[in-house]
Structure 1
Amino acid sequence: MTVHRKILTQHGFVDKDLLTYPYEERGLQFGDGIYEVIRIYHGDYYLLTEHVERLFRSAAAIKLTVPYNKEQVYHKLAELLEINDVKGDAKVYLQITRGSAARDHVFPDTEPNFYAYVQDLPRPLTELKNGVSVITQEDERWQNCYIKSLNLLPNILAKQEAKEQNCFEAILHRKEKVTECSSSNVYIVKDGKIYTHPETNNILHGCVRSKVKTLAQNLNIPLIEEAFTLEDLQTADEVFLTSSNAEVMPIISIDHKQVQDGKPGTKTISLQKAYEQDAKIEQDASIFQVQ
């Protein structure tokens, strides 16, 4: 994936090859920071308001000062796309750390480090059409997963294990209760109803997750925010996950066992269609083109 050259920092736009940080950067040494990944379709942000609101919630949760107010963030992010002449499908990675200072666990008296860059991101069309396989893993993360922090090592290990088993994702669980995936939210469909873990501190309150609640309501599909179990996963009529990168992704296999007939389910397909319409994805880029 191509990274566009101009990166937004708290000191203006910098060429990506010239951007450096001191070795005593708290994001590097402590994971002391937060981030967002914002989807772009045909040059326009999708769910931008939801991402910016979550950015400020995460900052408040770790007592981190964002160097811009919300309106300034919107303006800067618009400038980022304009200066990089972004026209296609992409994503913006935005990160804020507590800054650079002599290594000490207590907060330093220094300005935060802020940067955001654009990376081209093609849609996962094959996976959306055919569905993906996943594994299950014990959820070993901390108790404040609602904060979109840089502390992602347990997520990385779970995702790597999935890759080594030729799978797309890892569904996490605390004992028998399913929470979410390593980098996405997860749902089951049973008897025409959608179930997903409620918005507690144990999951990330996903922006696409919030949109799916609205889409389900518009489609008259009941969505119940209630934790389900590993056993429920195995007996579900449909299983799917959502994220900014994955959209509404059908899951067709769990721990190498097929989900029902091994094909994307009707409720999942309906939600993905509604997602494409809401994101204003052009017909020639849809996975539902008439053949």
Structure 2
Amino acid sequence: MTVYQNILTQSGFMDNTQLTYPFEERGLQFGDGIYEVIRIYKGSYYLLTEHVNRLFRSADALKITLPFTKEELYINLEQLIKQNNITKDAKVYLQVTRGSAARDHVFPDVEANFYAYAQDLPRPTENLRHGVAAITIPDIRWQNCYIKSLNLLPNVLAKQEAKEQGCFEAILHREETVTECSSSNVYLVKGDTIYTHPETNTILHGCVRSRIKTLLDNHSIAFRETAFNLEQLADADEVFLSSSTAEVMPIIMINNNSVKDGKPGKITQLLQKMYEQDSKIHDSIFS
């Protein structure tokens, strides 16, 4: 995937090969930072407000002073698109760390480090149409998963385990209660009801997850923020995941067992159509 040349930093825009930080950088040494991944469709941000609000919530939780206001960030992110002449599907990766200082567990009195860059990201159309496979794996992460922090090693290990087993994603569970996936939220459908883990500290409060809830307000499909376990997951009529990069993705196989008939279900497909309409996607996977 192409990385666009102009990168946004706390010092303004620069070429992406010019950004450097000292080796004593707290994101590098402590994972002391936060991030967001924001979707772009045909040159326009999707759920930008939700991502910016979550960034500020994460910063507040970690006591990181952001080097910009929300209004300044909105202006700079729009400028990032213009600087790079982005007109197609892409994503922006945005990262803030506590800053650069001599290594010490105690917070230093320094300015935060910040950068954001854009990268092409085509829609995963084949997976969206046909569905993906997943595995289940114990959730060994810390207790503050609602913070979108840089501490992602357990997520990385889970995702790698899924890849090594030929799967797209790993579904995490704590003592058999399903929480979320390594890089997405997860849902099951039983009858005409969607179930997903409530917004506690043990899951990331996904921006697409929140939008799904809103989109369902005017439909006859119930949305229950109620935890479910591995046994209920195995008995589901449909299973799907959501994230900014994966959108609304059907899961058709878990641990080598098919979910029902092994095809994307009708409620998942309805949500996919609602997502496309909401994000103003013109090239539908159903075309």
Do both proteins adopt the same fold according to a TM-score greater than 0.5, normalized to the shorter chain? yes
- TM bin, normalised by shorter chain, reads over 0.9
CA offset at residue 21 of structure 1? Answer: 1.1
Residue 287 of structure 1 aligns with which residue?
A: 285
CA deviations on 1:27-60 (whole Å, 9 max, x unpaired) are 0000000000000000000000000000000000
* 2:92 equivalent to 1:121: no
* 2:14 equivalent to 1:14: yes
| SS in structure 1 of the partner of residue 270 of structure 2 | helix
- Superposition pairs of residues 127-142 of structure 1, within 5 angstroms: 127-142=127-142
Distance 2:219 2:249 in 1: 17
Distance 1:93 1:230 in 2: 33
CA offset at residue 218 of structure 1? Answer: 2.5
| SS in structure 2 of the partner of residue 87 of structure 1 | coil
Residue 225 of structure 1 aligns with which residue?
A: 225
- Superposition pairs of residues 137-286 of structure 1, within 5 angstroms: 137-282=137-282, 285-286=283-284
Distance 1:22 1:196 in 2: 42
| SS in structure 1 of the partner of residue 281 of structure 2 | coil
Residue 112 of structure 1 aligns with which residue?
A: 112
- Superposition pairs of residues 14-33 of structure 1, within 5 angstroms: 14-33=14-33
| SS in structure 2 of the partner of residue 18 of structure 1 | coil
CA offset at residue 257 of structure 1? Answer: 0.5
- State, as a whole percentage, how many aligned pairs show the same letter: 70
CA deviations on 1:126-170 (whole Å, 9 max, x unpaired) are 000000000000000000000000000000000000000010000
Give the counterpart letter for 2:131 in structure 1.
G
Residue 39 of structure 2 aligns with which residue?
A: 39
CA deviations on 1:233-272 (whole Å, 9 max, x unpaired) are 1000000000000000000000010000000000000000
* 2:66 equivalent to 1:66: yes
CA deviations on 1:183-227 (whole Å, 9 max, x unpaired) are 000000001100000000000000000000011222321000000
Distance 1:232 1:217 in 2: 24
Give the counterpart letter for 1:246 in structure 2.
A
| SS in structure 2 of the partner of residue 96 of structure 1 | strand
| SS in structure 2 of the partner of residue 17 of structure 1 | coil
Distance 2:34 2:95 in 1: 6
TM-score normalised by length of structure 2: 0.99
Distance 1:160 1:176 in 2: 21
CA offset at residue 273 of structure 1? Answer: 0.2
Q: CA RMSD in A?
A: 0.5
Give the counterpart letter for 1:61 in structure 2.
A
| SS in structure 1 of the partner of residue 71 of structure 2 | helix
Structure 1 runs of 4+ with >3 Å offset: none
Give the counterpart letter for 2:49 in structure 1.
T
> Unaligned regions of 5+ residues in structure 2, if any?
none
CA offset at residue 14 of structure 1? Answer: 1.0
Distance 2:257 2:24 in 1: 46
Distance 2:197 2:239 in 1: 13
Give the counterpart letter for 1:53 in structure 2.
N
Give the counterpart letter for 2:280 in structure 1.
K
Distance 1:233 1:262 in 2: 14
| SS in structure 1 of the partner of residue 17 of structure 2 | helix
In the comparison of the two structures, how many residue pairs are matched? Answer: 287
Give the counterpart letter for 1:287 in structure 2.
I
Residue 51 of structure 1 aligns with which residue?
A: 51
TM-score normalised by length of structure 1: 0.98
Distance 1:174 1:137 in 2: 9
Distance 2:41 2:219 in 1: 23
> Unaligned regions of 5+ residues in structure 1, if any?
none
